[in-house]
């Protein structure tokens, strides 16, 4: 057998990249909530995210990229870096992790479909609409106890911030695909400009409490926010976006609350109730349907309709 006989297709590699994003973001929700519940402010978390990723990326970005290309990377940094990061971290100060799972990871495919629908003259395939409905229903089941239980008066602020963060990320994903920017270039550009734009504001004017935090907590947040979330997850999402499309890549993110719940069951011993299990199955069905090739999905929907 020739060594080059086995090669993964580009679509398969895109789905693997999307799966890595799901794992990274499952941990991101937990780590970010841990940070916001301690002494760290949302601005501290953003500073660690953009400071670490910017320090790693800026020298390579300046070496690789022509000045004429900078405006596009600034736009990507505003939506996929600063906008998304600041809105999510601020949301964690008001609302719990389960809400982020529903409103961020459910909001990204929602806003992506809405924006694509507007650009396409409100023509969206039945496959995507059914997948979005399934995913939204499953996410609601997973977050039912948190969303329907007794609410703290300011939780709605966090939910609104999560939805705005989802819209910001959806715009970033669509711009990435429209401009056909390579994933590595996107990572370097977003990290560089987010750092350059944000850190002076943080150091001079924004409230900070990082000096009161432990070295262990700072190290955890720097590694996860600055490397795993800002660089690995963003790069893998950019790659998946290019290989399988914006709708399919965003639909995969609906799996984040499900994988978070499963991880909490095995790692933390948290219970999985019947409604959560059902929600996981429904979300998975929606994500799979949304990611399927349109021809296969059409055949499946016709068989269901005829049956």
User: What's the pLDDT band for 304 if we cut at 50, 70, 90?
Assistant: very low
Is 245 part of any domain?
Answer: yes
> Which pLDDT value is given to residue 268?
56
Is 79 part of any domain?
Answer: yes
Give the mean model confidence (pLDDT) for residues 97-109. Answer: 79
Q: How far is CA 28 from CA 84, 222, 230, in A?
A: 13, 12, 10
Give the mean model confidence (pLDDT) for residues 118-144. Answer: 77
Number of neighbours of residue 134 by Cβ within 10 angstroms: 22
Q: Is the pLDDT of residue 1 over 50?
A: no
Is 5 part of any domain?
Answer: no
Q: What pLDDT digit, counting tens, does each position of 75-102 carry? A: 999 999 999 999 998 988 887 777 777 7
Is 94 part of any domain?
Answer: yes
Q: What pLDDT digit, counting tens, does each position of 246-285 carry? A: 888 888 887 887 787 777 677 656 667 788 788 878 877 8
Is 203 part of any domain?
Answer: yes
Q: What pLDDT digit, counting tens, does each position of 194-243 carry? A: 999 999 999 999 989 899 889 999 999 999 999 999 999 999 999 998 88
Of the candidate ranges 4-8, 109-113, 250-254, 271-275, the one whose mean pLDDT is the lowest: 4-8
Of 55, 26, 43, 48, nearest to 222 by C-alpha is: 48
User: What's the pLDDT band for 21 if we cut at 50, 70, 90?
Assistant: very high
Contact 222/50 with Cβ under 8 angstroms?
no
> Which pLDDT value is given to residue 199?
96
| Helix 215-223 vs helix 42-64: crossing angle, to nearest 10 | 50
Report d(CA 163, CA 159) in Å as an integer: 6
Q: Is the pLDDT of residue 10 over 70?
A: yes
Of 132, 138, 226, nearest to 170 by C-alpha is: 132
Is 3 part of any domain?
Answer: no
**Quick one: how far is CA 49 from the chain centroid?**
14
The number of residues making up the chain comes to 307
Domain count for the chain, please give it.
Answer: 1
Q: Which structural domain range is residue 159 located in?
A: 10-306
Give the mean model confidence (pLDDT) for residues 60-73. Answer: 92
Token pair of 74 as six digits: 């600034």
Q: What are phi and psi of 229, to 5 degrees?
A: -80, -50
Give the mean model confidence (pLDDT) for residues 54-79. Answer: 94
Is 4 part of any domain?
Answer: no
Q: What are phi and psi of 182, to 5 degrees?
A: -65, 145
Is 90 part of any domain?
Answer: yes
């Amino acid at each position: 057998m020739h060594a080059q006989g086995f090669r993964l297709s580009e679509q398969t590699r895109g789905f693997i990249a999307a799966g890595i994003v799901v794992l990274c973001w499952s941990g991101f929700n937990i780590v970010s909530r841990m940070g916001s519940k301690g002494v760290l402010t949302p601005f501290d978390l953003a500073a660690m995210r953009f400071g670490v990723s910017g320090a790693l990326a800026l020298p390579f970005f300046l070496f690789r990229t022509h000045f004429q290309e900078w405006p596009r990377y600034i736009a990507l940094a505003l939506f996929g870096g600063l906008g998304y990061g600041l809105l999510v971290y601020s949301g964690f100060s008001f609302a719990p992790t389960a809400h982020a799972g529903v409103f961020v990871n459910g909001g990204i495919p929602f806003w992506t479909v809405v924006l694509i629908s507007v650009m396409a003259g409100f023509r969206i395939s039945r496959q995507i609409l059914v997948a979005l409905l399934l995913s939204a229903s499953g996410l609601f089941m997973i977050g039912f106890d948190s969303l329907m239980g007794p609410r703290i008066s300011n939780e709605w602020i966090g939910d609104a911030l999560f939805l705005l963060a989802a819209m910001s990320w959806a715009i970033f994903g669509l711009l990435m695909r429209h401009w056909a920017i390579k994933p590595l270039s996107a990572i370097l550009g977003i990290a560089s400009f987010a750092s350059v734009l944000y850190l002076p504001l943080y150091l001079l004017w924004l409230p900070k409490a990082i000096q009161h935090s432990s070295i262990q907590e700072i190290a955890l947040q720097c590694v996860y926010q600055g490397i795993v979330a800002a660089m690995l997850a963003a790069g893998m999402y950019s790659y998946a976006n290019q290989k399988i499309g914006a709708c399919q890549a965003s639909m995969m993110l609906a799996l984040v609350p499900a994988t978070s719940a499963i991880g909490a069951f095995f790692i933390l011993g948290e219970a999985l109730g019947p409604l959560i299990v059902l929600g996981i199955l429904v979300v998975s069905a929606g994500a799979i349907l949304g990611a399927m090739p349109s021809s296969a999905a059409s055949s499946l929907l016709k068989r269901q309709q005829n049956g």
